[in-house]
Amino acid sequence: MATLLTIGDFSRMTHLSVKALRHYHDVGVLEPAAIDPFSGYRSYDAGQVPAAQVIRRLRDLGMPLDGIRTVLAAPDVEARNAEIAGHLARMERQLAQTQASVASLRALLSAPAPHTPVDYRTIPRVTALAITEMVTVEGFMDWVTGVLDELADALAVTGTERSGPFGALYPGDFFELERAEVTFFAPVTVPVPVAVPAAGRARLTEIPVVDAAVAVHAGSMDDIDRTYAALGTAVAERAIGVDGPIREYYPISFLDTEDEAGYRTEVCWPVFRTIT
């Protein structure tokens, strides 16, 4: 026979507030064992205490309620552990991002901005395998990972080789509105011997020639805004900026090294050149 507990006793036993228990009932995470049909008063079974303890710990770890619901409804231990492991991996990525942001802020507060050399060059037109899609800043890194994998697959299928580092085109709306059509591309040797599969997102395209002010960002992408600031200042002071997407090239990226200090990113700001 079930041992029914009042919602107050269950709250004291699990350290979940009555308000939280009512909410978990409303969203289908933890159903009471019984509900009085006249008063609506909730009662819980003592056997539900372990589930409630799991819920509290997962909430302490920041797991969303949808994830907790999936954990509790998992058909077996393997599925349950996979869901928890996925959340822990997301937490580790968030922790790494937080640590990087803290380090970047400390550097910004404690040291003057380093001198960033800016040079001016003409970047020639190239043929490239490219993927262009509307993306948001919030989901950008996940999109980039998928795009780079797909471009690598397209290179393998066509049997061609990159003729330079991966690159990207960022319209102004990406920075101003946090949403825009971004193009990631891989310059290729031509002619490409095999047609690009129609099922893939990659397409052969021409990346046009551009005159650009160029600065090289060394290290993590978390403080690349400092390089953008130095580069934008140099362009503004000379009043030579023109409309057009900012380009980034990635001669050394996470594809090449796990050491973020070794990353090198070329930021290219379109300009109007009057001298060679």
Per-residue pLDDT of the chain (276 residues; tens, 9 = 90+): 567 888 998 999 899 899 999 999 999 999 998 998 888 899 999 888 988 998 898 888 888 888 888 888 888 888 888 888 888 888 887 777 777 667 766 766 665 666 789 999 999 999 999 999 999 988 888 899 889 989 988 888 888 889 999 999 999 899 888 999 999 999 998 777 666 665 578 888 999 999 999 999 998 888 888 899 889 988 998 878 899 999 999 999 988 898 888 999 999 999 997 655
Q: Cα separations (Å) of 269 from 137, 154, 155, 165, 221? A: 20, 28, 28, 17, 17
Given strand 179-187, what is the order of strands in its sheet? 119-123, 210-218, 264-270, 246-252, 167-170, 179-187, 126-136, 203-207
CA distance 10 to 13: 5
| pLDDT at res. 98 | 76
**Which ranges in the chain are annotated with CATH 1.10.1660.10?**
4-73
Categorise residue 62: left if φ over 0, alpha if ψ from -120 to 50, beta otherwise: left
| pLDDT at res. 94 | 77
CATH fold, domain 4-73, is Multidrug-efflux Transporter Regulator; Chain: A; Domain 2 (1.10.1660)
| pLDDT at res. 240 | 86
| pLDDT at res. 22 | 92
| pLDDT at res. 196 | 66
Tell the CATH superfamily of the 119-270 domain. Answer: Regulatory factor, effector binding domain (3.20.80.10)
Structure tokens at 52: 């409630």
| pLDDT at res. 195 | 66
| pLDDT at res. 108 | 60
Structure tokens at 64: 């969303």
Q: From the CB of residue 230, how many other CB atoms can be counted at a distance below 10 Å?
A: 19
| pLDDT at res. 218 | 92
| pLDDT at res. 145 | 87
Contact of 232 with 212, CB cutoff 8 Å:
no
| pLDDT at res. 158 | 82
**Which ranges in the chain are annotated with CATH 3.20.80.10?**
119-270
Helix residue ranges per DSSP H, 188-241: 224-238
